[in-house]
Amino acid sequence: MEKLDRQHWFARWEAMQNCYVPHRLYRFDLMLKLADLSREGEAHILDLGCGPGALSFCALRHYPKARIVAADFDPVMLAIGRGVAETDRVQFVRVDLRQAGWWEPYEETFDLIVSSTMLHWLSEGNIKRLYAHIYRALKPGGQFFNSDHMASNDPAIQAHYRKLLHVNQQSAFHVVGADDWESFWRELEQAAGEKLDRSEEELWEGTDNGLPRQFHVETLRASGFEQVAFHWQDMGEAVIGARKPYR
Ligand SMILES: C[S@@+](CC[C@H](N)C(=O)[O-])C[C@H]1O[C@@H](n2cnc3c(N)ncnc32)[C@H](O)[C@@H]1O
């Protein structure tokens, strides 16, 4: 790991993710604008499954006085993030977000919780539990925004979306010349000159399409959230938001 040029691998990660995830940076920007926090206040923000931190860094550009907890379980992602962070306002922490104990000290702590392309890694049961943790960790009136794969409620329509997404991703990779997931990790490991233990197999329990949109709406409402809404959608991709009620 010591050998790795963190800036270089951060840029390669970003190029790859921007090919896989349509309108990724637009969606980051949208979530942070919708949050509509004060630029002057010291907002407390949590980024779930932060990877090397692009969404956290974007949050800091929107809210320069914010303090951000960037949480992920992958030590390589966290090392790249720490290597490129130019501020101590983003604190990278290693955690498996399925562990209830990690959430305990965070009751009513955050003004905003965001996530990008992470929740589809989790099983249905763990997403339900995560929504309950998020609810508890938000201050009254606090907001949650998630940008992720969220499937059509109709499996036949979702199958069509999936095919089209694949075509769009292939043309993005062709134009940009970015790594795909396998080549990114293979080449990063070669550059590191050592076998990297990243726990990916331990983490992945999800579905490539994500769960149906209706599941997210119903589960967020059942967890106590209000103002549950899709703010952006393109085939099986979405940005969903929700607010914890003021007392
Ligand atoms: C596709 S990456 C997205 C990273 C980042 N949000 C981005 O948009 O660049 C998904 C991330 O979720 C993390 N992740 C998945 N399951 C997790 C869990 N249970 N606890 C913590 N992090 C998890 C993975 O380690 C990975 O870094």
State the pLDDT at residue 197.
84
CA of 245 to the centre of ligand 1 (A): 27
The pLDDT of residue 198 = 85
| Predicted confidence (pLDDT) at residue 1 exceeds the cutoff of 80 | no
Predicted confidence (pLDDT) per residue in 63-113, tens digit: 999 999 999 999 999 999 999 999 999 999 999 999 999 999 999 999 999
The predicted model gives 122-127 an average pLDDT of 98
Confidence of residue 200 (pLDDT cuts 50, 70, 90): confident
- pLDDT category at 201 given cuts 50, 70, 90 is confident
**Nearest atom of ligand 1 to the alpha carbon of 47:** 6
Pick from 121, 129, 179 the residue to mutate for probing ligand 1's pocket: most ligand atoms within 8 Å of its CB.
Answer: 121
Residue whose Cα lies nearest atom 1 of ligand 1: it is 117
Kindly give the number of the ligand 1 atom that is closest to the alpha carbon of 74: 25
Q: Is the Cβ–Cβ distance between 205 and 121 less than 8 Å?
A: yes
Asked whether residue 243 carries a pLDDT value surpassing 90, the answer given is yes
96 lines ligand 1 (CB under 6 A): yes
What is the Å distance from ligand 1's center to 149 Cα?
A: 13
Model confidence at 3, pLDDT cuts 50, 70, 90, reads: confident
Read off the CATH number of the domain in which 143 is found.
Answer: 3.40.50.150
pLDDT, tens digit, 9 for 90 and up, residues 135-144: 999 999 999 9
Q: How far apart are the C-alpha atoms of 231 and 81, rounded to whole Å?
A: 28
Average pLDDT, the chain: 97
Q: Name the residue range of residue 129's domain.
A: 6-243
Beta bridge partners of 145: 114, 241
pLDDT above 80: residue 11: yes
Q: Could you read off the pLDDT of 148-188 as tens digits, one per residue?
A: 999 999 999 999 999 999 999 999 999 999 999 999 999 99
**Residue 215 belongs to some domain of the structure:** yes
Model confidence band, residue 247 (pLDDT cutoffs 50, 70, 90)? confident
Predicted pLDDT at 12: 98
Confidence at residue 108, expressed as pLDDT on a 0 to 100 scale: 98
3 CA to centre of ligand 1 in angstroms: 23
As for how many domains the chain has, the answer is 1
Interatomic CA distance for residues 86 and 243, integer angstroms: 31
Q: Name residues whose C-beta falls within 8 Å of residue 25's C-beta, 6 or more positions apart in sequence.
A: 18, 58
DSSP type of residue 39: S
pLDDT reading at 18 higher than 90: yes
Q: 73 lies in a domain?
A: yes
Q: In what order do the strands lie in the sheet with 110-116?
A: 90-94, 67-72, 44-48, 110-116, 138-149, 237-243, 226-234
Atom of ligand 1 nearest to the CA of 97: 20
* Closest by Cα among 27, 49, 35 to 126: 49
| Pick from 57, 62, 27: nearest CA to 43 | 62
Protein residue with its CA nearest to atom 9 in ligand 1: 51
Q: How far is CA 115 from the centre of its chain?
A: 3
Dump pLDDT digits (tens) for 187-199.
Answer: 999 999 998 988 8
- Ligand 1 atom at minimal distance to the Cα of residue 54: 9
- In-domain check, residue 1: no
Structural domain includes residue 46: yes
Alpha-helical segments (H) within 69-199: 75-84, 100-103, 124-137, 155-176, 181-192
> For 202-234, what is each residue's pLDDT tens digit?
899 999 999 999 999 999 999 999 999 999 999
Q: Whose CA is nearest to atom 23 of ligand 1?
A: 49
For ligand 1, atom 16: residue with the closest CA: 203
Residue 152 amino acid letter: S
The pairing of strands 138-149 and 110-116 is parallel
